[in-house]
Homo-oligomer: A and B are copies of this chain.
């Protein structure tokens, strides 16, 4: 077991779930995908998030997938598991099971019914009682949850809930929030800030004090290299790299459709056996696929120029 800590940094890839064309889980592709993420610079993995296709899995499949990934990763990096649930009993049970199996922490998003600062605070207090000693990642994703967490309420939670080690930052716009949290007095103690939104603001996020990315962009090496360049103080290099990929980042950020784009890219890159989504899921049309392919070709050309 490799636990997530408040020092977590780098690229936590949100894992896709590979399926065959008939909707069965494609275990070979899952292994290949796990290997690919690690080879391309993942310093952690995040599975069973609120977006993507995890909600389409049965509970037994979810457990099998977590176990398979944990076995493949074999302790090399922490694996965070999404355990958001309407009930604390189910959340606690799932947390116990995945932590026993070797997970490195759990990620929890607030339900849409938590609206005021006090409600959000109380929710995380209750959730932490249910999840025990497991390290917690706060998932701050207003576009999906419709819950708006101010920097102040995040600080209150961090103060009161020692299990919180990280914030998955996916507010939009969100750059100022990172600056606020990282300013003196912004947080009562250090936690890791890992950014989502498909990597769309990664160079600026890093510069403002984030520790890395937590998102599923189909080229994890972009995130690895951008983070390294910012860390080396070479912002121009970071932006050059980032902007080469930005046309594809834009395509993956389309709500509802982005996952089909992501799987298409992973398939074209030879990682997935098929780009299929489980039903109900959007299928990428031929024109859209050609648009992506063209951008992938252009990316290859740009990357050659950048070397």
Contact = CB atoms under 8 A, between A and B. Distances in A.
A64 interface: no
A118 interface: yes
Contacts of A236: 298
Contact of A89 (B58, B123, B255, B291): B58
B56 A59 contact: no
A300 interface: no
Interface string A74-92: 0000000000011111100
B93 A285 contact: no
B247 A56 contact: no
A115 B256 CA distance: 13
Nearest to A208: B287
Given A116-B153, A250-B246, A87 B176 contact: no
Given A247-B239, A250-B246, A298-B239, A176 B285 contact: yes
Interface string A185-204: 00000000000000011001
Interface residues of A, number: 61
Contacts of A278: 87-89
Interface in A115-130: 115-119, 122-123, 126, 130
Give the oligomeric copy count. Answer: 4
Nearest to A258: B173
A303 interface: no
A131 to B, nearest CB: 12
A56 B172 contact: no
A148 B209 CA distance: 31
A55 B88 CA distance: 10
A257 interface: yes
Instruction: Give the most central of A86, A122, A246: most B CB within 10 Å.
Output: A86
A280 interface: yes
A279 B88 contact: yes
Contact of A280 (B88, B176, B257, B295): B88
Contacts of A257: 173
A211 interface: no
Given A116-B152, A130-B279, 20 more contacts: A55-B86, A55-B87, A56-B86, A56-B88, A57-B90, A58-B89, A58-B93, A58-B94, A88-B280, A117-B150, A117-B153, A118-B152, A126-B280, A176-B285, A179-B287, A201-B250, A204-B291, A208-B287, A246-B246, A246-B247
21 contacts: A23-B89, A56-B85, A58-B89, A58-B90, A88-B278, A88-B280, A89-B279, A113-B256, A116-B148, A116-B150, A116-B152, A117-B150, A117-B152, A118-B150, A119-B150, A130-B279, A173-B255, A175-B287, A243-B246, A246-B247, A250-B250
